[in-house]
Chain A
Amino acid sequence: MKTTLCFLTSAFVFTILWAGTLIGAPQPEKARDGEEVYKENCTRCHNTPPAMSERHAKVVSAHMRVRANLTARDANAVMHYLAENAKSK
């Protein structure tokens, strides 16, 4: 069983590395529409974005980057959307 576990863990890590370095990483980073990213990711669990300042938005988007498995680019887009959303309220 230990050997199986060792194999599965190694396979998982190498799959992620392979995908991350060979496929994911070389893609050009384009700015994304924050509202669209918010709707794609955040509304899977909750609906309305709370009103918050830009300083709050930076921390909350980092928190959600971990919780919802967002890429840095998407977390950044959500951060800008939350900050802009707060300004418009």
Chain B
Amino acid sequence: MKFRRTFHLLVAIVAICTPMYAQDQLGGATTVNQAASIEKGAPPIPVITGGIALNSSFDKNETALQPVVAPIILVPLGKHALIESEFEAESEVVHTQGSWEPVTLEKGVEYAQLDLFLSKYMTLVAGRYATPFNFYKERLDARWIRNLPAEPFIFGVEDNSSNGGMLRGAIPLSSTTQLTYTGYFSALTNNLYAGSDRQSGVRTGLFFPGPRFEAAFSFNRRLGEVRYNNFGADFTWNVRRIPLDIRSEALISAAAGDGYWVEAAYRLSSPRFSKFFRRSQAVLRGEQYFMPRTPMDTGLEMPESDANRVFLGWNYWISDSVRAGVAFGRQFGSSDDRNVWTLGIAYRFLR
């Protein structure tokens, strides 16, 4: 046991010190120039940003309204540290079977973290952070970013935050390839607004800036009362020749089930479209989810049966900060076969 602790301590020290050493070795004219260029202008100031959104969904059984407020506060601490925090409050107003249900309000801290930039290629994160399993939670969860209001089926596995520490960054392997990596550990926290499970994991991938393609692999080990592994894979591809974005995630889990989604979004920015349509985007998403063979009580919000779904959506940027969207979805399931319409508007602010 003592040996193991010492070993972990050594790994941590080497992990933190070696990149710092490597950065010092670089210390050439370019690094000095970069630092000088940063210092030339005005110093950074705290920023308040985030989004406000109103989504609504309609199917044959119910109508739901979901207003969401998610402010983000960024506080720089010199050149090598940043505090960032996001609070999210989401309400749900549901009308079903001829009557309104009690209004629910979910609120919580999505992340409240201290980022220490240890080197050009490594950042140490401490505090509460969005769990980096696949990429939807970290990168696409914001209402003004996601292309469709509805989350994918398998989002239930990654829809959580962790309290603990994380090492992450990107390393250029060559002029055409970058290695991206994230490794984290989270402790169990029983708190209504900032709770977390005991878990650890990694996400590592390769990013090719030229073709704008990234593929990554995720591993997540749940270390609570019910212990199980989740495996994930994801990729994003921004096609250079046409304004087409393709994204996908997959999940393999003996406890949470298996599934995947693939989404394509085409920006109608070509001059052959009218000025109105050039501010819009067409979106198509297909997804499948398969229940685990032996269901376990994981506490995750996953579909209750095998399900397939197709979404077709259209987004329109009223301005750079305001986006409206409409989507039609058809869900096929062994116990849940229905059409879903969604309408949404999102506003992004920056102060």
- Using a CB–CB distance below 8 Å, which chain A residues touch chain B? 1, 5-6, 8-10, 12-14, 16-17, 19-21, 23-31, 37, 39-41, 43-48, 50-56, 58-60, 62-63, 65-74, 76, 79-80, 83
Contact = CB atoms under 8 A, between A and B. Distances in A.
B169 A71 contact: yes
B179 interface: yes
B212 A44 contact: yes
Interface residues of B, number: 77
A19 to B, nearest CB: 5
8 contacts: A12-B202, A16-B15, A16-B183, A20-B171, A21-B19, A69-B170, A71-B172, A71-B178
Contacts of B28: 28-29
A9 B199 CA distance: 13
B167 A21 contact: no
Interface of B: 4, 7-8, 11, 14-15, 18-19, 21-23, 25-26, 28, 30-31, 34, 37-38, 41-47, 49, 72, 74, 76, 82, 84, 115, 117, 119-123, 125, 138-140, 144-145, 167-173, 178-183, 200, 202, 204, 207, 209, 212, 214, 219, 221, 227, 236, 238, 245, 267, 317, 320-321, 348, 350
Contacts of A66: 82, 84, 115, 123, 125, 168
B19 A25 contact: yes
A72 B117 contact: yes
A76 B227 CA distance: 41
A79 B236 CA distance: 23
A75 B180 CA distance: 14
B170 A70 contact: yes
Contacts of B43: 55, 58
A41 B210 CA distance: 10
A25 B22 contact: yes
A53 B49 CA distance: 13
A37 B210 CA distance: 10
